[in-house]
Amino acid sequence: MHRSDHSPTRTLVLWVPDWPVLAAAQAHGVPADAPIALRYRGMVHACSSAARAEGVRRGLRIREAQARCTSLQVFDHDPALEARLFEPAITRLEASTPGVQVLRPGVCAIRARGVSRYYGGEQAAGLALAGQLAELVPTASAGVADGPFAAEHAARQAGAGRVLVIPPGDSAEFLAPLPVSVLGVPELTGLLQRLGIRTIGAFADLDALDVAERFGAEGLRLHGIASGSDGRRVQPRVPPEEFETTIAFEPAVERIDQAAFAFREPAERFIAQLTAARLVCTALRIELETDDGGGSEREWLHPRTFSPAEVVDRLRWQLQGGSTGSGLLSGLVHVRVTPVSVDSIGNHERALFGDVSDERVHHALSRVQSMLGHEAVLTATIGGGRHLSERAVLVPWGERATVPRNPAQPWPGSLPDPQPSLVFPSPLPVAVFDERGGEVSVDARGALSAPPHRLTTTTGGTRRIESWAGPWPLEERWWDAAAARREYRFQLVDSTGAAWLLVLDQHGWQIEARYD
């Protein structure tokens, strides 16, 4: 019994190379084969293979990385985004095998025993599951070994779409040539290197008692991993519970009231099982199937939470959508209700003291997010920067606001107060003329060709300019051809009393914002 606690579990690990980079590329709409680096605390956290080919490495300072690869695109490391985008892959795996543990986004572990029996061998199981994952991410690979650590490194060496199986007991041998830095504990591995222990094998050769004495419990654990006895167990994630409720009609029902009456009991069961799990339902989906093969599917939202009677109401309303009077156009054979968003029942109890308005706000906004998408609901903070678009930092609801530039710094060149109240997301092109009708321009030295006299919009409207100020030059990042910006800003008040912020850059004159 005691031995089995320490003997490593045969583990299958599925690995997607550079998942954080792939996720960032997907989220920012950048091709994944471009040179990309993710920034974390001013260092490269992860980079794409194209960037690696140019000499970019994990742990490099961003400046240094940009010097090595000038076309490098840098994004922030965002664990929440990486986890969210990996969710479909987990769902895909869970469709073919239970007990998937996500070690981190991009890497998941499964106990090899069950799947290898099902697929007829560890090699076959690895190939099958890597194939499942490869439908979403073509570069996925699999590894099977004793314990998650060895299996992950086997997967790393397998190559895209392939599987590497390390036979039982051979993991220590497989790991031996790897450098100690793969253990991922910089304090310990740095010390080991200084002591002349450069490979996992050399570390594993040390006596366990000596390691325990010198490096403590953490060192002993790593020593165990290095010697191929990774005691970690695969801890399968608990998949979200299934609460769907179905009812089949045999023979098909023809009337709405019949269907609604028959559905009362299942609706009560539906809410009761949610309540038993201490959950409430704020949105649900009703799927209908009719005997002519058609059907309808619709999501219903509730401002608070659904009660059984309200679930029946929603079914009735949905049936009324495709009916004549009280009769249905075709017989109803199947109804399925699934909760779309559930919440802890505690958030919805009437408070004894105070109110729960903040939770209510959160539910309402989450509901809007489920309607329009995650990025449609935003919160704003003020960041640093010289451009209006840089200073307004918008973050999707529910995510932590990160302000990339410090607003407390002086930012010379930013606009003086008061700030414009309407900032146009895409600037509106205009033409500005002087008194003689010539277009006003600014020369290379920043001098204005003539005082602006009137302004014409693309729709043909013309307004006289009453007073104006500018040009205020703004030249940023002249050392970086891709990010360099050079523009002149003007404030002006037209004959109707409206005040505008105009920008003149290489695209011509544009209205950037309005003061009203």
Chain positions contacting another protein, by CB under 8 A: 301, 303, 357, 360-361, 363-365, 367-368, 371-372, 376-382, 388, 391-392, 394, 397, 416-425, 448, 451, 467-470, 491-493, 497-499, 513, 515-516
Min dist. Cβ of residue 503 to another protein (A): 15
The two tokens of residue 372 are: 């329009």
In angstroms, the CA 286 to CA 272 distance is: 17
In angstroms, the CA 305 to CA 212 distance is: 55
Query: In angstroms, what CA-CA distances link 203 with 101, 178, 221, 485?
Result: 28, 11, 12, 53
Min dist. Cβ of residue 302 to another protein (A): 10
In angstroms, the CA 499 to CA 119 distance is: 71
In angstroms, the CA 281 to CA 341 distance is: 6
The single-letter code of the amino acid at 140 is: A
Dihedral pair phi/psi, residue 235, rounded to 5°: -105, 100
Q: Are 86 and 104 in contact (CB under 8 A)?
A: no
Min dist. Cβ of residue 487 to another protein (A): 17
Dihedral pair phi/psi, residue 450, rounded to 5°: -160, 155
In angstroms, the CA 237 to CA 87 distance is: 12
Min dist. Cβ of residue 379 to another protein (A): 6
Min dist. Cβ of residue 429 to another protein (A): 16
Q: Measured from the CB atom, is 111 or 367 closer to another protein?
A: 367
* SS3 label, residue 243: coil
In angstroms, the CA 500 to CA 471 distance is: 14
Q: Measured from the CB atom, is 322 or 396 closer to another protein?
A: 396
In angstroms, the CA 378 to CA 394 distance is: 6
